[in-house]
Structure 1
Amino acid sequence: MAGARQELRAEPATADREIVISRVIDAPRELVFEAFTEVRHLSRWWGPEGFTTTTRSFEFREGGEWDFVLHGPDGTDYSEWIRWLRIVPPERIALLHGESRDDPNAFESVLTFAPDGAATRIVMRTVFPTKELRDEAVEKYHAIEGGRQTLSSLAAYVTDLARKRAEG
């Protein structure tokens, strides 16, 4: 086929191990970023619908850790641990997330915070060590829906916070 053009789109090498969730939040980027960086905010919105969070320790700095428990609506407790790998205020946070410091199945997430007019577009890109771990997270733990619910909780919390600050 002379003259035919074929478009090739390269997929990232991690595509089969990734989950990408995004949301536009009606609040300034600095406020959305702040809600991710201060434990007094995180404990108010973190987790899927019906979950609550208890923080054991929190140090937001590169190399710092957040050790916490997610309490499920059915009474199940989930030990969680995050190490902050890279922090670029108010644009980006890279983290390692697992059940504990030595979790061999820990996964990496990168959150980006981009202005979208007066709002903020947050993108959460998570890469699992293997395709099997990604599939298990999706099928057994409902990671995509849980991620959407978590960003929805963040949006509601930050939108309310922005309104209260504007009223002043």
Structure 2
Amino acid sequence: MTGAERETRADPATADREIVISRVIDAPRELVFGAFTEVRHLSRWWGPEGFTTTTRSFEFREGGAWDFVLHGPDGTDYQEWITWTEIVPPERIALLHGESRDDPNAFESVLTFTPDGAATRIVMRTLFPTRELRDEAVEKYHAVEGGRQTLGSLAAYVTDLARKEAEG
């Protein structure tokens, strides 16, 4: 774990269905939040290391959706669908994430963005419908490490944006 990551506890009532990952990113909260609002940003950092993203459609608003394919480094394509359920700029984003619009195994994620001095603390809290689905995500798809890598990619992307803004 790097110095930029911190452990955050799961809610005891849902701990067996939940994954919680956090990171402190050296960039202002508005910039970190903004990296989620436009596909031109998301496509640059979304996903674990070695993955790329192809967007089919994107509408960042409550009730809007992001339909995309996540391409794994081994050539495997993962059909993905995110529906934004709550957007409170620049504090919070809630979403439902599955393989398609009506995926019965879709999981909920809530991202919170909190100022931490000049930096931003992002907490990604993901709640699965069942413990078995959470365990499958952790064991088969390496969800914890993938989540850490995704937040690492976000951190690198927005830190670079912040540096470019400061220079220019």
TM-score by length of 1: 0.93
Instruction: In structure 1, give the amino acid aligned to 2:25.
Output: I
Q: Unaligned stretches of 5+ in structure 2?
A: 1-10
Query: Does the residue aligned with 1:162 lie in a helix, a strand or coil?
Result: helix
Task: Find the aligned partners of 1:76 and 1:58 in 2 and give their Cα distance.
Answer: 22
Identity over aligned residues, as a percent?
92
Structure 2 counterpart of 1:154: 154
Structure 1 counterpart of 2:81: 81
Task: Find the aligned partners of 1:55 and 1:136 in 2 and give their Cα distance.
Answer: 25
- Residues 1:71 and 2:71 are matched in the alignment: yes
Query: Does the residue aligned with 1:37 lie in a helix, a strand or coil?
Result: coil
TM-score by length of 2: 0.93
Q: Unaligned stretches of 5+ in structure 1?
A: 1-10
Structure 2 counterpart of 1:62: 62
Structure 2 counterpart of 1:119: 119
4+ aligned runs moved over 3 Å, structure 1: none
What do the CA deviations read for 1:79-119 (whole angstroms, capped 9, x no partner)?
A: 00000000000000000000000110000000000000000
Task: Find the aligned partners of 1:148 and 1:107 in 2 and give their Cα distance.
Answer: 17
Instruction: In structure 2, give the amino acid aligned to 1:41.
Output: H
Specify the structure having the higher radius of gyration (Cα): 1
Task: Find the aligned partners of 1:44 and 1:56 in 2 and give their Cα distance.
Answer: 15
Task: Find the aligned partners of 1:38 and 1:162 in 2 and give their Cα distance.
Answer: 16
Structure 2 counterpart of 1:35: 35
What do the CA deviations read for 1:47-93 (whole angstroms, capped 9, x no partner)?
A: 00000001000000000000000000011110000000000000000
Residue 37 of structure 1 deviates from its aligned partner by 1.1
Which one is further off, 23-32 or 11-20? Answer: 11-20
